[in-house]
Copies of this chain bind each other. A is one copy, B any other.
Amino acid sequence: MEPTKMPTIKEIAKRLNVSVSTVSRALSGHPRIGLQTRERVKALAQELGYEPNQQAIFFKQKKTFVIGVLIPHIREEFFSQAISGIESEAMEHQYTILFGQSFDDTEREKQIVETMRRQRVDGLIISLAKNTVDYTPMMALEKYDIPVVFFDRVPLEKNVNKVFCNLYDVTVDMVKWLMDQDRRKIALINGPEKLTASKERLKGFIQGVSSQKLKVDMQFVENTDLSRESTYTAMEKLLQQKKKPNAIITFNEYVHMDAVQYALQHQVKVNEDIFFGSYANLAITTHIAYPPIISIEQYPYKQGIAAMKMMIDLMTRKQEQKETTSDSMHQELKATLVVSGKS
C-alpha cells in the first residue's frame, strides 16, 4: 500500500486548473475571491485531506513555533509540574516544547543550549543547573534576538527575564511558626550556596531568628549539594553538637527525606524530638512515612504558566516594536506556608 502523499496547494491548483495563489487565497479566506472558486477549492482540499505544511510556513516566516525548555531533572515532581504548566500554556498559543534536561551538569546544560540555538527555537525557558554561575551561553541567544526566560532557579542578575517564588517572607514566617511551637533551636540544611534560592532561604532564616530577639547560631546552618551523602554529613554535624537542634528546616523535600532517613537511623523521633520543616509541598508528601510538619508551597505549575506567558509576551513585543526594548521582566510569585498537609 502506497503511503499517501501529503497534498500541497500546488497539487490542488493543478487539478483545478487555477494558480497556486488562487488556492492559497481561497483557503485563507481572502476577500476578493470568486465564491464558486472558493467553494471548489475548499471542497477539493477537504477531499484530499489537505493540511498546510507548517514547516514551510515557519520557514518562510523565519519562525519555528518551538520553545526550548531546559530543566535540571524531569524526575523531580516540582519540574514535571512546571513542565505541565509550560506545556498547557504553550499549546494555547500553538507553540510546542523542545525538551531537555541538564541533569544539574553545567557542561551538558551549555551543550543543550547550543543545540537548541542550532535548532532555531523561538525562545528558551530554563531553570539552571545547581552549579551554574556563568550565563554567557544563554545570553548568547539573546544576542540573536531569541528571548530567554529563567524560572525558579534563576540568576541573581537584574537584567534577565525571570519568574520565581519569593521565599524570603515565607521563610521568616516558617521560623516564626516553629518558634510559636516552642522550638527555639532551629537549624537549616540549605542547598548549594550559589543558588539564589539558597541565599533567599538563608536570609529569611536569619531574619526569622533575629526577629525573635534570638542570636543566629551559624553552627546551625549547614549546606548540602543535594546528594544523599552530603545531606547525611550535614545531619551528622548538626546532631553531634552539644546543643542539638529541636527543629530542622531542609532545602526541599528530597533533602527532607534523606534527612529523615538519617534521623531515624540515629534514634531521633521525627516531628517529636525534632520538628522538620521543608520547601515544595509536593503531592508525594501525602504518601511518605514522615512528611515535614510544615512546608512551603512554591507553585511549580503556576510558575510554568507564568514563564510561558512571559515568553509569549516577549515574543509579541519583539514582533511589534522593532526598537530594542532592553528592559527585563521580573515576576515574583508568593509562596505559601502549609502546616502538616493542610492547605
Chain A interface residues toward B at CB < 8 A:
1-4, 6, 51-56, 58-59, 64, 66, 74-75, 77, 80-81, 83-84, 87, 91, 96-101, 115, 117-120, 143-145, 257, 261, 283-284, 287-290, 324, 326
Contact = CB atoms under 8 A, between A and B. Distances in A.
Contact of A98 (B52, B74, B96, B289): B96
A184 to B, nearest CB: 29
Contacts of A284: 284, 287
Contacts of A100: 87
Task: Name the prevailing secondary structure of the A interface residues.
Answer: mixed
Given A59-B55, A74-B84, A84-B75, A98 B101 contact: no
A54 B287 contact: no
A120 B288 CA distance: 43
A54 to B, nearest CB: 6
Nearest to A88: B101
A84 B80 CA distance: 12
Given A84-B74, A97-B98, A289-B288, A1 B324 contact: yes
A238 to B, nearest CB: 20
A225 to B, nearest CB: 19
Contact of A54 (B81, B118, B283): B118
A287 B282 CA distance: 13
Nearest to A289: B289
A1 B59 CA distance: 25
Nearest to A51: B118
